[in-house]
Structure 1
């Protein structure tokens, strides 16, 4: 596996993004199946991907490529990390052909293990659009509590949609082995 795995589960490994991965990330960031639920509203090219990921590894944020059998299938990130307050936000996406296989649950669970066990964070936030029922189910399966809704918060495909907000505390996390 290029770059070596950082976090390893039963089926999914999460590893740092390498130069060779930027085309995969660019192509999927532009794919409407990923772009709309993630609310990416601008096209991205290879140079923009390069700049984004060079910046990612300069701070406290963590972005990792999700792989199955050494093949990239998605991306997971821990961002808006506030070490002093002990919280961060999690986001993730899977290539359309990898969805529905349980990979999203495993990659998010691995990242939560890392956030709570290694980074010693206390609270993880997450968001999901009202139109993304799969992501809402994933967050609830992982133990996140639905904390509220911001009405008409995002503009996607010509309409305003609600954003659901979730939170998970370290003492509520059961660990990736449970999934």
Structure 2
């Protein structure tokens, strides 16, 4: 296959590239499922031990944007083409223009700005291509990295849902964040100055 010129590719920035999940991504999914602390922050629960067949089934159900559960699933790559995590657009409410995003960055790639970059790409798509109006999300209490990322993206902390997740013998809060299309555009214009 010819080499791809990514110069004007919508789905990348200076840090990351988003692409469809491929069948061969199952191994990365399987390995990342052993990061229990990250999985708890993502799923708000302790999951059963990962299985290779479970990882293969997940990839099979979501490869090439084939998901039937309303999620648009992507693999996040660094610009060297290494898979470093996943991101998805979900909870899309076309009538009210609201949506959410789920993201996970593999342990060895966290804290390098990859998550913020991937979020910005997907927010740009949701707001400027899908014409959605409001991003709503929550961070599980104690997930300081994701809370920092939300603030960096310009999200406003809108509240706290107290003691709604039971994890490891404790009830934890959801910290609620939101971002409107206008706030996103304003934040982007500040960054270009």
Q: TM-score, normalised by structure 1?
A: 0.88
Question: Of the two, which has the highest radius of gyration?
Answer: 2
- Of 72, 80, 83, which aligns to 2:94? 83
Equivalent residue number for residue 67 of structure 1: 77
Q: How has the CA–CA distance of structure 1 residues 33 and 146 changed in structure 2, closer, same or farther, with 3 Å as cutoff? A: same
Q: How has the CA–CA distance of structure 1 residues 89 and 71 changed in structure 2, closer, same or farther, with 3 Å as cutoff? A: same
1:18 matched to 2:26: no
Q: CA RMSD in A?
A: 2.6
Q: How has the CA–CA distance of structure 1 residues 51 and 135 changed in structure 2, closer, same or farther, with 3 Å as cutoff? A: same
Once the two structures are TM-superposed, the CA of residue 106 in structure 1 deviates from its matched residue by 0.7
Q: Which runs of 5+ in 1 are unaligned?
A: none
Q: How has the CA–CA distance of structure 1 residues 153 and 61 changed in structure 2, closer, same or farther, with 3 Å as cutoff? A: same
| 1:31-70 map, 5 Å | 31-38=35-42, 39-43=44-48, 44=50, 45-50=54-59, 52-53=61-62, 57-58=67-68, 60-68=70-78, 69-70=80-81
Equivalent residue number for residue 117 of structure 2: 106
CA contact (8 A) 2:15 2:114 kept: yes
SS for the counterpart of 1:57 is coil
CA contact (8 A) 1:12 1:106 kept: yes
Deviations 1:89-126 (A, max 9, x none): 11211111001111111111111111101111001111
Q: Which runs of 5+ in 2 are unaligned?
A: none
Q: How has the CA–CA distance of structure 1 residues 32 and 100 changed in structure 2, closer, same or farther, with 3 Å as cutoff? A: same
1:158 matched to 2:169: yes
Structure 2 CA distance for aligned equivalents of residues 56 and 161 of structure 1:
34
Equivalent residue number for residue 147 of structure 1: 158
Q: TM-score, normalised by structure 2?
A: 0.82
Count of paired positions: 178
1:178 matched to 2:191: yes
106-115 vs 157-166, greater mean Cα deviation = 157-166
CA contact (8 A) 1:109 1:142 kept: yes
